Structure 1
Amino acid sequence: VNVYIPNGGRGDHRIEYKLNYYDEMLDLLEKRRAAGENLVICGDFNTAHTEIDLARPRANVNVTGFLPVERAWLDKFVGAGYVDTFRHLNPETTGAYSWWSYRSAARKRNVGWRIDYFYVNEEFMDKVKNSEIMAEVEGSDHCPLELNLF
């Protein structure tokens, strides 16, 4: 399942819209999972989950994409049994980002955010061989991700 989660933008109404979108996505995924499907969920979640997932967490604590309420939703998602494949396989890796602002040569300086993910339902994690961020591939403010399965 490829997803694009809306950016929180400016204003509380956009955050509410984003959180509602997250909830609707989870409802859809849970129905498919309940039907016995294994799921690979990939795409732009527009949220860095933990401090290790962005270069400057303290400076961005009140910025959409790293707001406590957005991060709490990803906690809920993980708590529902979805595994962040990259972080599961690389729990201590720092400086691994999937998005960089075009402003101030952020990519060149690796001042980025990890907001693109491959998640799988926990029952399917044993089929994951590796999960990589292809930061060397340019052409966008995001880079591709790679997931290999057994």
Structure 2
Amino acid sequence: RQKMTDLLAVGFTDTWRYFYPDVTGIYSWWSYRFKARQNNAGWRIDYFITSKALDDRLEKAEIYTDITGSDHCPVGLTIK
């Protein structure tokens, strides 16, 4: 977690937070144990991190929580 904090501090953008700074309860990974996905007890550990220079070109960031088949779900980023 510290390394992520360090990246953001030196000028990188967490693209999901860029669009959704206050949204909670959206994850990209759930343990296979304890019905974690069913209970939405996960972590957001899949990211698109970009240079601040791209901020004005960011169009959309998505986490496809409805796609199953793995302990992770896909994440997407649209840049113009």
Would you call these one fold, judging by a TM-score over 0.5? yes
Tell me which of the two structures has the higher relative contact order, counting C-alpha pairs closer than 8 angstroms and 6 or more residues apart.
2
Q: 1:88 offset after TM fit, Å? A: 1.3
For structure 1, the 5+ residue unaligned runs are 1-70
Q: TM-score, normalised by structure 1?
A: 0.52
Residue of structure 2 aligned with 1:111, choices 27, 41, 47:
41
Q: Which amino acid aligns with 2:57?
A: K
- When the two structures are aligned, how many residues end up with a matched partner? 80
Residue of structure 2 aligned with 1:144, choices 66, 74, 79:
74
Q: Secondary structure at the match of 1:124?
A: helix
Q: TM-score, normalised by structure 2?
A: 0.95
Render the CA deviation track for 1:88-122: whole Å, top value 9, x for unaligned: 11001011100000001100110000000011100
* % identical aligned pairs: 44
Q: Which residue of 1 aligns with 2:23?
A: 93
Q: Give runs of ≥4 in structure 1 deviating > 2 Å.
A: none
Name the larger-Rg structure: 1
Alignment of 1:50-69 (within 5 A): none
Answering whether residue 72 of structure 2 is matched by residue 130 of structure 1, we say no
Cα RMSD (Å): 0.7
Structure with higher helix content: 1
